[in-house]
């Protein structure tokens, strides 16, 4: 039993001694979950080694030494597949001495765009309960009221428009304009008189546009005209007395 155990131990040592050394890239990276950099993937070409700083598309050792110091505006080292070259293979440089990148689609940092007519308030808006928040709320309320009246009386073509190509946002423009007006006047809420007038207009104007209401108004006007004419005529009793 002892001899069998010893032979198994010797066999294990032999196998361990015959195993090849691990890749230095794998040892440096710790636990690697994929193929070692520089080694081919299944059915693919070898991947280029990454730069220590994470920038650069190719193996720096394959770049001629006289070009290794060159960088583009994003900090990437020279790569013939990424950067423009002259007919003799030399990298093409800009007037600032930077590598010229080849034209074509590439990843760019996402940017946020603001319409020219958008409010100048921060994107998050003023803090709730502040004076600025009251101005903004009053501006939005007034703008929505105007939009509502316009659409109710004149139709859907009076709805606020948004045109990104023109930088147009009528809802934002109207809201901001009223907010600025209220701020200039020191009004943090819609005045009661305006609110009542707007409420009455919102109620009456759409109904005045209906055919039934127009017909009734026409009959009322004709009745009033008839009463006026009748009142202008002298009565028969008064004529006889004269």
Q: What pLDDT is recorded for position 170? A: 92
Q: What pLDDT is recorded for position 9? A: 57
| Confidence bin at 82 (pLDDT 50/70/90) | confident
Q: What pLDDT is recorded for position 137? A: 86
Q: What pLDDT is recorded for position 129? A: 62
Q: Rounded to the nearest 5 degrees, what angle is found at the Cα of 112, between the Cα atoms of 111 and 117? A: 145
Q: Could you read off the pLDDT of 144-202 as tens digits, one per residue?
A: 888 887 887 777 888 899 888 888 899 999 999 988 988 888 776 677 777 788 778 77
* Higher-scoring residue by pLDDT: 190, 69: 69
């Amino acid at each position: 039993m002892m001899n069998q155990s010893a032979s198994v131990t010797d066999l294990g040592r032999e196998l361990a001694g015959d195993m090849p050394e691990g890749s230095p890239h794998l040892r440096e990276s710790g636990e690697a979950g994929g193929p070692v950099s520089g080694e081919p993937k299944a059915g693919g070409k070898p991947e280029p080694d990454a730069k220590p700083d994470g920038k650069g598309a190719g193996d720096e050792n394959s770049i001629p030494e006289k070009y290794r110091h060159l960088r583009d505006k994003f900090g990437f080292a020279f790569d013939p597949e990424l950067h423009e070259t002259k007919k003799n293979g030399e990298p093409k440089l800009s007037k600032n001495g930077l590598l010229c990148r080849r034209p074509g689609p590439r990843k760019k940092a996402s940017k946020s765009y603001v319409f020219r007519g958008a409010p100048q308030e921060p994107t998050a808006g003023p803090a709730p309960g502040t004076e600025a928040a009251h101005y903004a709320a009053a501006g939005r309320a007034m703008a929505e009221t105007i939009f509502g009246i316009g659409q109710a009386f004149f139709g859907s073509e009076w709805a606020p428009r948004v045109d990104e190509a023109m930088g147009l946002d009528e809802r934002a423009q109207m809201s901001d304009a009223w907010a600025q007006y209220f701020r200039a006047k020191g009004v943090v809420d819609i005045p009661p008189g305006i609110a009542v007038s707007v409420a009455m207009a919102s109620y009456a104007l759409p109904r005045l546009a209906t055919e039934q209401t127009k017909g009734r108004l026409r009959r009322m006007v004709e009745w009033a005209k008839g009463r006026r004419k009748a009142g202008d005529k002298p009565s028969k009793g008064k004529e006889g007395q004269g």
